[in-house]
Chain A
Amino acid sequence: MLRGLSAFLYGRRGFYLSLLLLPPLLWLGIVYLGSLFALLLQSFYAIDEFTARIVPTFTLATYGQLLSHPANVDIILRTLAMAVAVTLAAAVVAFPIANYMARHAGPRMKAFFYVGVMMPMWTSYLVKVYAWRLVLAKQGVLSWFVDLLGLAPALDHALSTPVIGGPSLASSYLGMFVVFVYMWLPFMILPLAAALERVPESLLQASADLGARPGQTFRQVVLPLALPGLAAGSVFTFSLTLGDYIIPSVVGAPGYFIGMMVYQQQGTAGNLPLAAAFSVVPILLIGIYLTLARRLGAFDAL
């Protein structure tokens, strides 16, 4: 019976393929795309101001509210600024690690580094956020370490900077920024290392032989070749920062971020249309970013 069936299917390749593809496609098509559509729909629904009920009539008022309230615009700009800052910092911190593991480490050391980067990446997300609360807390590991090095005045100075500072690292944008960079760093290191691994040694020798200084070789040979990896990693750091709402609510200053707004509006505020409209913002921003990254050849390195 099975033999007959498989022979039957072998002759009808298209039918066989659609038979395989149909169940997963139905799931993602209905559950996932359907939900995204529902999200878009909700963002156009009105909300009754007195009863706080959602009224299924088409309105652009929610988007109007989103873009006309200065507080909402501030939230969007603050989140965007954080995402850009985290992406840049992650690239700078990731580079030496990726460069060493991809191009300088021996086979054993390389394996050690790959596992060493992947283990923290796969460690429970919430536990890592919690760990940072312990690290950044007053009397915590970091302040102990800073005292040990005698750097306390430098830290106080950084914390007294307006905007990024605050009463302590655990309640400042600076602390939040450090946690974001930490959380997404492996997502930057791995694609960057993959790109750097493909840089041929001979090109760098040629560059040096032709009289380029190390800085020139970096700017004109290494960096352009590493760009696809940087772009691929930055897609992760950018998109993950835009959508996160756990980190800003556990570590950091009182200012709101897009993710927190989405979570709060659908929950305690009960304003699902506004939450939906807010969540369309990161989708658009990521769409723009992906288009830019694609032009830089980010997806060739994945």
Chain B
Amino acid sequence: MRSSGDWNRASWGGRIAAFAGLAFLHLPVWVILLYAFTTEDRTYQFPPPGLTLRWFEVAFAREDIWAALRLSLSVAAVATAMALVLGTLAAFALARSRFRGRDAITLLFVLPIALPGIITGIALLSAFKLGGIQPGFWTIVTGHATFCIVIVHNNVIARLRRLPPSWIEASMDLGADGTQTFLYVLLPQIATALLAGGMLAFALSFDEIIVTLFTAGHERTLPIWFFNELFRPRERPITNVVAVTVVLVTLVPILLAYWLTRQGHADERN
């Protein structure tokens, strides 16, 4: 009766397909890592004829890369700071309240990531053109903050909803006022969610290209530098090195954020 197609047991075929799929997801990333060390600088020859650390040194000395990196980091920092304030306020307001128009507001807080980035980009550009605003640092930040707010809001609201309301009531019953309850009960509980949301927002902003190309004007963030390089393939080895660096800069905060939100889940179970 129990054939190989039993839906409650993993078949070998299913297992192999799952692992093959996972390998498919990971391979390109490993390819980039490998190519950053290749000695071949003109073609994409695989396997690489030899390995070297030289390109890291060359890329390290490039002032245009450093300038782009500095711009990306400062945009991400400012956008994340704005998103932390605005996203948290929104999460507090929307977590447990019921009022008319709430669904419409919730939709508004999903829209910037539900619609493709190109819509946000061209819409902001249209508005800047109408308003006669010159694109630059602050227009990039405006675009990034808009979707970063959504990320922070999602993270904080998920945590607030898991927080038992009885804790706040207990705190108030025991004589703490609103400020004390916020500082000693609420804040420690949402701290990791804030940190995780902030890091995700930072990584997303650091890596953003689709909106940024519309709002950057003549400024060059690191992704824009990288995008231009794709059409000027003379400096492949340096592009490879920057690619590896970008992967590391975005992946570390994201893995930390993941770990922090998992901690939150674990605490809840105890």
Residue B27 interfacial (CB < 8 Å):
yes
Point out the residues of chain B lying under 8 angstroms from A41, CB to CB.
126, 130
Q: Which B residue's beta carbon lies closest to that of A239?
A: B116
Q: Which A residue's beta carbon lies closest to that of B206?
A: A124
B29 engages A214 (CB within 8 Å): no
A134 engages B35 (CB within 8 Å): yes
Q: Which B residue's beta carbon lies closest to that of A238?
A: B116
Point out the residues of chain A lying under 8 angstroms from B99, CB to CB.
14, 17
Residue B81 interfacial (CB < 8 Å):
no
Point out the residues of chain A lying under 8 angstroms from B46, CB to CB.
134, 139-141, 144
A38 engages B44 (CB within 8 Å): no
B115 engages A130 (CB within 8 Å): no
Q: Which B residue's beta carbon lies closest to that of A221?
A: B7
Q: Which B residue's beta carbon lies closest to that of A170?
A: B44
A100 engages B14 (CB within 8 Å): yes
A128 engages B28 (CB within 8 Å): yes
Bound together, the chains give a CA A88 to CA B1 distance in angstroms of 32
Residue B201 interfacial (CB < 8 Å):
no
Interface size in chain B (residues, C-beta < 8 A): 87
Point out the residues of chain A lying under 8 angstroms from B149, CB to CB.
24, 27-28
Residue B123 interfacial (CB < 8 Å):
yes
Bound together, the chains give a CA A286 to CA B116 distance in angstroms of 9
Interface residues of B in 28-87 (CB under 8 A from A): 28-29, 31-32, 35, 43-47, 85-87
Interface size in chain A (residues, C-beta < 8 A): 100
Residue B155 interfacial (CB < 8 Å):
no
Residue B163 interfacial (CB < 8 Å):
no
Return B42 CB to nearest CB of chain A, in Å: 11
Point out the residues of chain A lying under 8 angstroms from B127, CB to CB.
31, 34-35, 38-39
Q: What 1/0 flags go to A97-130 for Cβ under 8 Å of B?
A: 1011101110000000101111110111111111
Point out the residues of chain A lying under 8 angstroms from B93, CB to CB.
17, 20-21, 24
A262 engages B18 (CB within 8 Å): no
Q: Which A residue's beta carbon lies closest to that of B17?
A: A96
Point out the residues of chain B lying under 8 angstroms from A33, CB to CB.
108
Q: What 1/0 flags go to B135-155 for Cβ under 8 Å of A?
A: 000000010011001000100
Residue A283 interfacial (CB < 8 Å):
yes
Of A116, A207, A221, most buried by chain B (CB within 10 Å of CB) is: A116
B226 engages A126 (CB within 8 Å): yes
Bound together, the chains give a CA A96 to CA B94 distance in angstroms of 37
Interface residues of A in 243-294 (CB under 8 A from B): 243-246, 250, 259, 262-263, 266, 272, 275-276, 279, 282-283, 286
Bound together, the chains give a CA A135 to CA B112 distance in angstroms of 32
Point out the residues of chain A lying under 8 angstroms from B174, CB to CB.
none
19 contacts between A and B (CB under 8 A): A6-B179, A17-B99, A20-B93, A35-B127, A97-B22, A119-B251, A127-B32, A127-B243, A128-B29, A129-B230, A130-B243, A131-B32, A133-B230, A134-B28, A204-B8, A263-B214, A272-B129, A282-B119, A286-B115
